Each structure stands twice: as C-alpha cells, then as structure tokens.
Structure 1
C-alpha cells in the first residue's frame, strides 16, 4: 500500500502544480483579495489553510510532533506559498515513510480541544488529500468570480 500512496500523492502533486501554474496568471493582488462568497477568504489564505491542515493532521496530531503553522502575513505571494508546499511535501514523505508498515493500524488521536478519535494513517492521508482537492475547487471558483478563466487542474486532464 505504501507504494500506491506514494503514487497517489504524486498525482496530487501534479494537480497542485497545475493549480499553481494557473495561479501564476492571476494578478498578485487578486490572490490576496478576500471574497465574501467564500467566508471572506482569499485564494492565498485557502492555500495556506490546506498546508496548515497537513501540518495539523500529519505532524501534530498523528506523528505527535510540534510543527509550527504557516502564517498568512509571512506568505503573501505565490512563491512563498509554493515554498510552504515544499515543506508539506517533505512532511508527507516523512509521514508515509514513518507509517509504511502500519498504514492500516488504528491510532488514538487527541485533538486540541481534548477530544479523541481513532483513525489509521491511511484514513488521515486520504482526509488530507481530499481536503486539498475540496479547497482547490474553491480556489478555482474564486478565480472565476474574479474574472479569470481557469484551466483544468484535475488529476486526469489533457
């Protein structure tokens, strides 16, 4: 399963890179423009939210490490956001390598509010990448609302 998840994450990276390449065509000020239709979030803030969710689930919750979250005021351009995702990729590689022989083993996870849940590393991996795809769709939708014509950023694209 480890090899399959590595491959699946590579597909996620391909889709993410298509989104980032598309975002290069968006004016920098539009990447930072909050939209009321998406809870006054901006495209950049949603991208950082996704990166921080990777940190929360993979590092801080499952591996019980204490990684700092990425701050919006320190990542105000696409180059900085891309650099954040370079760190996310390293984190994902560490996570998959750490659990490569126990991806289906349930783990007790304590949330910041003290509540607990039991999930396997496979479930957390799946949650993290589907969460990214959910917000990727919102980012594309936001760009459309700002007058841009999005490109195909799906895993299967031409």
Structure 2
C-alpha cells in the first residue's frame, strides 16, 4: 500500500515539474476527459486523495474550490497542506486495517459497505487513471509525458543476495 502511495506522490511531483514548462493557458485549457484541464485534473487528484482518507477515518471532509487553487503553485500548496494529513495515515498503514469496515452513506440514502483496503486501492487507482489522461494531453501538446513506470523509481530496494 505504502509503495504505491509513494509512487503516486513521486509521479505527481514529476508532473508538477512537467507543468513548469507549459504555459498557464495550456494548463487551464478545457480538454476532453479527466477533470477538464491539466491543472484541474491535478487538483482533483489531490482533493480526492485527501477526501477519501478523511472520510474513512470519520474525519470531516469538505470540497475545495478549484477557482481558489487555479495555478500550479496553488495546487502544489494544497497538495503539501493535505499531505500533512494523508502521509502519516498512509505510513501507519498495517494489515489490520485492510478489512476494517467502511460504511459509505450515499446521497440516494443507500449505504455501501466496503473495506478500508478497498478504499485505499481505489485512491491509488484513481490517480493512476488520471495520470493516463495527463499523458494523452501531454502527447497532444507534443511533449513527452512523465513515465508511469514503477520499475526504476527506487521504491523498493532489491535483495542484494539475489
């Protein structure tokens, strides 16, 4: 679990650096798919990660307004602020939390029952899904996307005896 969160954070930071080389108007340009624009998609990834982790812990959640975070610097600031809540929870993750019951009260009045491990994997997959969209937009701009490869990122040390 922790490895893929670290992967997501690493790739997200690489996308932020990628964005530094792209004009603001391209970052905000409405596009098909994702959350509508490059910057709005990065904002959405950060917001959803924080929200789900707040919700499964029974902590208050609120929806951030993209209009208040519509520059690369502001999205990075929000990411850093939210990471203060997210990272300690992720780093404290243990096997005993995998099957912990989570009741998701839906707007239609129904209650979905999931496990914390399912929710955490959804958060991981959510970013990976949107990073794919950023990669498509990157190619549309004639730029090389950030590598989505897990291999070579140094996330897990190999056994030197192998």
Residues 60-107 of structure 1: per-residue CA shift (max 9 Å, x gap): 3x1222232221111111111111222332232343367644232222
- Runs of 4 or more above 6 Å deviation: none
1:129 CA drift (Å)? 1.1
Distance (Å, rounded) in 2 between the aligned partners of 1:39 and 1:151 = 16
Please list every run of 5 or more consecutive structure 2 residues that lacks an aligned counterpart in the other structure: 154-162
* Equivalence for 2:160: none
Q: Measured at CA, do residues 85 and 104 of structure 1 come closer, stay the same or move farther in structure 2, by a change above 3 Å? A: same
Distance (Å, rounded) in 2 between the aligned partners of 1:40 and 1:10 = 23
Distance (Å, rounded) in 2 between the aligned partners of 1:90 and 1:137 = 26
1:135 CA drift (Å)? 0.4
1:76 is aligned to 2:75: no
* Equivalence for 1:19: 15
Higher share in helix: 1
Normalised to the residue count of structure 1, the TM-score between the two structures is: 0.81
* Equivalence for 1:32: 28
Aligned residues: 152
1:9 is aligned to 2:5: yes
* Equivalence for 2:46: 51
1:110 alignment partner, one of 105, 108, 117? 105
Normalised to the residue count of structure 2, the TM-score between the two structures is: 0.79
